[in-house]
Structures are given as structure tokens and as C-alpha cells.
Amino acid sequence: MDFNSWLTNKINSIEEYLNNIIKEKSNPQGLIYEAMNYSLLSGGKRLRPVLLLAAYELFNNNLECVMPFACSMEMIHTYSLIHDDLPAMDNDDYRRGRLSNHKKYGEAIAILAGDGLLNKAFETGLGAVLSYDDNKKALKALNVIAKSSGVNGMIGGQVVDMYVHNKIKSLEDLKYMYSLKTGAIIKSSIIAGAILGGADEVQLKSLEIYAGKIGLAFQIEDDILDVTSTLEKLGKKTGSDIANDKITYLSFVSIEEAQRQVVQLTKEATEAMSIFGDKAKYLIELADYLTKRDH
């Protein structure tokens, strides 16, 4: 199967599963189901669940049993986007080409919709643990996911971005923030998938290198697109980093140098996959796909 067919197949399977997670009900809190689905089912690259499935596929083809974990990653990611868009944080009016959740439903419901998605992610993951063949392995994977989305991962990165941003004086400082805010749940998607598949320590180390490289390359590409892309392509307002006086990769290097580093990081990521041989072909092509995107 060629890469585009493989990717389309994965995204379609993810979309099908996501569509059946949150059932809207005619009860007094019915609005929350609608608000959660408004953001969860609004499209997007589905990068994190795709990465989890791709890493698991290095070892096993029974994707049905890990789909709940993959879609838990998407719920965590979507909750973070809803909260990031709030006026108290990044204050963005658009996400994935349409109104942000708080612009559609108001701030209170948007906060609760994000909370609901985070909780639903772990409801879904724990439900999958109970039915997984190897409960200990499944719990280990879910623990990796939980840590990556907490204060030593994604939430911590957001805190650094919002409150310690003026202390970022070098690329190394910025890379630290990116490794938490963006990189942590990208890495945990890959590592959780590999753990579920039965990876050994050597294989996990190679996948950690791959994940770290593509996570940083992905964020640098985002910084570039914020300057070079459009609202229509990106699905959200461009130029927001400059407007909000944010420090980005382009605060330290030129666009040309940033693009060169994206290419180099992608090359290093694919080299880390050499121990898997041809089995890693989709992960290798995925790294290239993510860093040559226009949105």
C-alpha cells in the first residue's frame, strides 16, 4: 500500500471511532456533548492517533484493540486546543477553519468541553485497559500518556509559554518549552503505541529519538507557517505569534535556516528508524509528510 492510501485508511478509521465516542443525549446537560463533538469532529491532521497506530504497527497488526488509546490522544489534543484558544491564553477566534469553541458556545462551556474531553480520554483509555490482553502493558502505555499531558509535559509547556516566556533567551530555552508543550504528547503517542505492541528497550530508545526529532521539526514548521501561510490554508489566524509578541524559532534564526533545520531533524528522525528496516517505511514517510505541509 502506498503512503497516501495508508494514511487515508488510518484517518478514516480514526474518524469512524471518534464519531462513536460521544453520544449526544436529550438530558439537561445535553449542550456539553454538542460542544465536545464540535471541536473533536472538526477534522485536523489526526497526527497523534496516527503516530500511535503507526508505532504499534511496527510490532502488531491488530489495530482494533489499540484504537481507543489512539483516540484518547486525539481527545487530549483537542481539549488542549479548546483551552489554548481561550481569551486567557492564546485568544484565537478560529480553529481548523471555523469559530473556536468559546466563540461558538461561550467561555464557560468551552472550558467544560475541554475538561469533558480530557476526562473522556481517560475513561476511554481505562476501558481499553480492562479488555486488553496484557493489562500491565496497557497500564504502562496509559501512564506514559497521562504523564505527557500533565504538568511535566503539555500543561507545563503551556505555563512556560505564558508565564516564563520573557526568560527564554536562547534556542535551547525555546526547545525546552517546545519539548513539553508540543513534543510531549507527540512522543507519548509513539511510545505508548510501541509499548502496546511489545517493543523492547532498544526499540523504544530509537523511537524516542525519532519522536523527539519530529516533534521539534513539527513545531519549527508551525512557526514558519505562522509567517508564510494563510487563514484559508492554516485554518486559524496567521501572524498571531508576531501580534502577541511571542518568541518563536524565527526570533533566533532566519526562515531559510529554520527550514534547513527542519530538513536536518527529519533526516535524523528517519535514520533512527533504521533498526526496523522496511517495517518503518510509513513512519519515515510520515516524518517527511509532516515537515513539508502547508497547514
Instruction: Write out the DSSP string of 58-77.
Output: TT---GGGTHHHHHHHHHHH
Q: Is 278 exposed, middle or buried (0-12, 13-18, 19+ CB in 10 A)?
A: exposed
- In this predicted structure, the answer to whether residue 266 has a pLDDT above a threshold of 70 is yes
pLDDT of residue 226: 87
Note the pTM of the prediction, 2 decimals. 0.94
Categorize the per-residue pLDDT at 292 as very low, low, confident or very high, splitting at 50, 70 and 90: confident
- Asked whether residue 189 is assigned to any structural domain, the reply reads yes
- 294 or 30, higher pLDDT: 30
CB 293 within 8 A of CB 14: no
Please state, in angstroms and rounded to a whole number, the distance separating the CA atoms of residues 291 and 267: 11
Distant-in-sequence, close-in-space partners of 259: CB < 8 Å, separation ≥ 6: 224
53 lies in some domain: yes
Could you tell me which residues come within 8 angstroms of residue 260 by beta carbon, excluding any fewer than 6 positions away? none
> Has residue 72 been placed in a domain?
yes
- Whether 213 shows a pLDDT value over 70: the answer reads yes
Dist. CA 130–CA 138, nearest whole Å: 9
The whole-number pLDDT of residue 230 equals 54
User: pLDDT tens across 89-129, in order?
Assistant: 989 999 988 999 999 999 999 999 999 999 999 999 999 99
SS3 98: strand
- Characterize 28-54 residue by residue with b for buried, 16 or more Cβ atoms within 10 angstroms of its Cβ, and e for exposed: eeeebbebbbbbbebebbbbbbbbbbb
Q: Is residue 36 part of a domain?
A: yes
The dihedrals phi and psi of 151, each to the nearest 5 degrees, come to -70, -20
- Does the residue 286 lie in any domain? yes
What is the count of structural domains for the chain?
1
Can you tell me whether residue 154 is helix, strand or coil?
Answer: helix
Share of the chain above pLDDT 90, in %: 85
Instruction: Look at residue 217 and tell me if it is in a domain.
Output: yes
SS3 99: strand
Strand partners, 95: 98
pLDDT tens per residue, range 118-158: 999 999 999 999 999 999 999 999 999 999 999 999 999 99
Residue-number span of the structural domain to which 129 is assigned = 3-290
Q: What is the CATH number of the domain that holds 108?
A: 1.10.600.10
Provide the strand spans (E) within the chain: 94-95, 98-99
**Using 50, 70 and 90 to split pLDDT, how confident is the model at 234?**
low
Reported confidence tier of residue 245, pLDDT bands at 50, 70, 90: confident
Q: Flag the least confident range among 42-51, 160-169, 212-221.
A: 160-169
Q: How far apart are CA 234 and CA 97, in angstroms?
A: 7
**What rounded mean pLDDT belongs to the chain?**
93
pLDDT for residue 165: 77
| 295 part of a folded domain | no
Q: What is the structure's pLDDT at 237? A: 58
Task: Examine residue 202 and state whether it is found in any structural domain, yes or no.
Answer: yes
User: Which residue is it, cell 492554516?
Assistant: 234
DSSP 3-state percent helix, strand, coil across the chain (nearest 5): 75, 0, 25
φ and ψ of 281, to 5 deg: -60, -35
Q: Is the predicted pLDDT of residue 235 greater than 80, yes or no?
A: no
What is the pLDDT confidence band of residue 61, given thresholds at 50, 70 and 90? Answer: very high
Q: What are phi and psi of 231, to 5 degrees?
A: -55, -40
Which among 65, 67, 79 has a CA at the least distance from the CA of 119? 79
